[in-house]
Structure 1
Amino acid sequence: MREHPVRLMIVDDHPVVRDGLRGMFDGLPDITVVAAAADGREALALARSTEPDVVLMDLRMPNLDGVGAIRRLHAAHPATKVIVLTTYDTDGDVSRALAEGVAGYLLKDTPREELHRAVRTAAAGGRVLSPAIAGHLMAGKNQRQKDPSPRELEVLRLIAKGAGNKEVARTLLISETTVKTHLKHVFAKLGVETRAAAVVAAIERGLL
């Protein structure tokens, strides 16, 4: 059991959201809101003076966005745990945040009690994910475990030889849009984000 209450900082660019979140933690004996920031830069400044144990961090903010703030916060305060609290659950947002080593990723419709539990879990060194985010990750994992289809590999072979989208489309008698779709699927299945990385990953897996 902790000797002192969890020191919590809230970071969100909407005043109503900040006030609402602060109200959710009012009166709790084991969690104290020590600061509330409107953007990433303010969060970094307040973190230096308040030394929070846990930060509830929005992602899309002016001046310095959530991912940038998380990166700098972890560098300056490695012991501080960050829970992303956002309305966005797109794959890009999730992967960028998780890549920064956050302790959790929750959506803003998370019930009050679950939010309390998440902060306590993060402070204790655990990790929390909303069911929707967990589903995203599982779907992504399952997708990445699949190999590209024969047609997708045809596209990748041509890309490996230096062909551009137009040349691939002309060679395979398909549209450029279809080429882009095939590449998007290849990237997802191989867990990469660029053509070069896709070629390397395919070679390493013996697909090319």
Structure 2
Amino acid sequence: MTAKIIIADDHPLFRTGLRQLVQKQAAAHIIEVADFAALMQQAQQDPPPDAMILDLVFPGFDGVASISKLREAYPLCALIVVSMNDAPENVDLIMATGANGFISKAVPPDQMAQAISDILAGQCLVCLESEEEVPQDQIVDISRLSPRQREVLLRLGQGKTTKEIGRELAISPYTARAHISALFKALGVSTRSAAAAIAVQAGLV
């Protein structure tokens, strides 16, 4: 079945660029909107959206408050925030609120396309301009991680999805997503692959 994806941004050129990136990654019925009222109008029409790609600043949209409302109304919808406002504290709040992913508008198109594809496939990730993977010869100290963070890190090292992590730890996918976001911050990384590399280096897997 063709996925229904809504792109919400008030810049037509950026919406067009996002549409082209998404169309390269997935067979989808893509709807473009420029304000929150149009987003809700399209979302309420059957079938419900499979994903929403959201800027943080467009008419009628109230940042994390709107993300929280969308998460509650559409629990199975992938919420992907694409924004220039990629300060760490802002990203942490967005992910904790229930977004499936955050992508900085500053990343190259191919990196953005891959991140969108990964999120649509069920991953939870943050993709920033200053992506820095952990060097192979650098050992990260995980002794300060909480027991829960170590459990999450172990499962990331095993390649588990957010849903699988939630199921194994008997927590909701949204709680699992929040733990993953907190773990990324604690480790100083912003991708699942970097966290998985740390799990391997630390001997967890």
Normalised TM-score (structure 2): 0.55
Q: For the aligned residues, what is the CA RMSD?
A: 2.6
What is the aligned partner in structure 1 of residue 138 from structure 2? none
Q: Which amino acid aligns with 1:39?
A: D
Q: Which amino acid aligns with 2:54?
A: M
* Kept after mapping to 2: 8 A contact 1:39/1:61: yes
Larger RCO: 1 or 2 (CA < 8 Å, sep 6+): 2
1:105-156 Cα shifts (integer Å, max 9, x gaps): 1111333333333233222321121145777xxxxxx9xx8xxxxxxxxxxx
What is the aligned partner in structure 1 of residue 39 from structure 2? 43
Provide the secondary structure at the position in 1 that maps to 2:44: helix
* Kept after mapping to 2: 8 A contact 1:39/1:62: yes
What is the aligned partner in structure 2 of residue 202 from structure 1? none
Name the CA distance, whole Å, in 1 between partners of 2:25 and 2:19: 14
* Kept after mapping to 1: 8 A contact 2:4/2:49: yes
Q: Does 1:116 align with 2:113?
A: yes
Provide the secondary structure at the position in 1 that maps to 2:52: strand
Name the CA distance, whole Å, in 2 between partners of 1:42 and 1:34: 14
Q: How many equivalent residue pairs? A: 133
Higher radius of gyration, 1 or 2: 1
Provide the secondary structure at the position in 2 that maps to 1:96: helix
Task: Give 1 or 2: higher helix fraction.
Answer: 1
Q: Does 1:64 align with 2:46?
A: no
What is the aligned partner in structure 1 of residue 17 from structure 2? 20
Q: Do the aligned partners of residues 54 and 115 (structure 1) sit closer, same or farther apart at CA in structure 2, a change above 3 Å counting?
A: farther
Long gaps (5+) in structure 2: 133-140, 145-205
* Kept after mapping to 2: 8 A contact 1:39/1:63: yes
* Offset of residue 29 of structure 1: 7.1
Name the CA distance, whole Å, in 2 between partners of 1:104 and 1:113: 16
State the identity as a percent: 27
What is the aligned partner in structure 2 of residue 91 from structure 1? 88
Comparing 83-92 with 63-72, which one deviates more in the overlay? 63-72
Name the CA distance, whole Å, in 2 between partners of 1:47 and 1:133: 33
1:144-196 Cα shifts (integer Å, max 9, x gaps): x8xxxxxxxxxxxxxxxxxxxxxxxxxxxxxxxxxxxxxxxxxxxxxxxxxxx
* Aligned partner (choices 13, 25, 32) of residue 28 of structure 2: 32
Provide the secondary structure at the position in 2 that maps to 1:41: helix
Q: Do the aligned partners of residues 52 and 118 (structure 1) sit closer, same or farther apart at CA in structure 2, a change above 3 Å counting?
A: farther
Long gaps (5+) in structure 1: 136-141, 146-208
* Offset of residue 40 of structure 1: 2.5
* Offset of residue 89 of structure 1: 1.1
Name the CA distance, whole Å, in 2 between partners of 1:25 and 1:109: 17
Normalised TM-score (structure 1): 0.55
Provide the secondary structure at the position in 1 that maps to 2:91: helix
Name the CA distance, whole Å, in 2 between partners of 1:29 and 1:133: 23
1:9-40 Cα shifts (integer Å, max 9, x gaps): 111121221122223334x3733242112123
* Kept after mapping to 2: 8 A contact 1:41/1:69: no
